[in-house]
Structure 1
Amino acid sequence: MVFKEDYPKFEETAPDDFDPAKPYADPVAFIEQREYLVREKFVEIEKAKILRERLQQCYWREGVNHVFKCRSLVKKYMDSLKNLNWGKDNRPQYLKE
């Protein structure tokens, strides 16, 4: 049986000792920063998935009136997709080297 105490603890903020000007100076801070960015990206992706599911439910529930009644969900969903920054071109500058 797994208890809540057995789950790993993650810091919710970026590492304090990471220097973007010299990212490879401290390898541990570099990996912590990378893990932090990946966690934040996964959180944003999951938020977009939840909004997409809500939008699908609204579409099916409202029928022909979905254009007017689901407009706010569409705006939230589109904004969440803009904030995802897909692809390698949107990486931080120190990772483009």
Structure 2
Amino acid sequence: MGRKKGVMFTDDGAPDDFDPDNPYRDPVAMLEMREHLVREKWIDIEKAKILREKVKWCYRVEGINHLQKCRHLVHQYLDATRGVGWGKDHRPHSLHGWFFF
């Protein structure tokens, strides 16, 4: 017996039988869709946390040059945090913060 070479996920995505026009028609599909949305939200949150740690590390390592050297990480982090979190789903993108180029 040994370890498996890879990880296999059984969840492929949103349920096929979910009807967004009438979500209460199939309560099981509605709950599966809700769980799918929560999982996707948590994945986005964890990606943003990983990028935040990379930005912190880059700031510490680069020191005074962090404005030039860490710019790409900061842009990735800001893009990852737009619309991420609970309760921000229906806000327009203009209210999620500043967008720097």
- Name the TM-score class by shorter chain: 0.7 to 0.9
In the TM superposition, what is the alpha-carbon distance from 1:11 to its structure 2 partner? 1.3
Once residues 10 and 37 of structure 1 are traced to their aligned partners in structure 2, the CA distance between those partners, rounded to angstroms, is: 16
Per the alignment, residue 46 of structure 2 pairs with: 46
Higher relative CO (Cα under 8 Å, sequence separation at least 6) belongs to 1
User: So what's the TM-score if we normalise by structure 1?
Assistant: 0.79
Structure richer in helix, relative to its length? 1
Once residues 55 and 30 of structure 1 are traced to their aligned partners in structure 2, the CA distance between those partners, rounded to angstroms, is: 38
Question: Contact 2:45–2:85 (CA<8 Å) still a contact in 1?
Answer: no
In the TM superposition, what is the alpha-carbon distance from 1:48 to its structure 2 partner? 0.2
Question: Residues 53-92 of structure 1: matches in 2 within 5 Å?
Answer: 53-84=53-84, 86-87=86-87, 90=90
Per the alignment, residue 94 of structure 1 pairs with: none
Unaligned runs of 5+ in 1: 92-97
Question: Residues 28-43 of structure 1: matches in 2 within 5 Å?
Answer: 28-43=28-43
Cα-Cα RMSD: 2.1
Q: Which amino acid aligns with 2:16?
A: D
In the TM superposition, what is the alpha-carbon distance from 1:90 to its structure 2 partner? 2.5
**How many residues were matched structurally?**
85
User: So what's the TM-score if we normalise by structure 2?
Assistant: 0.76
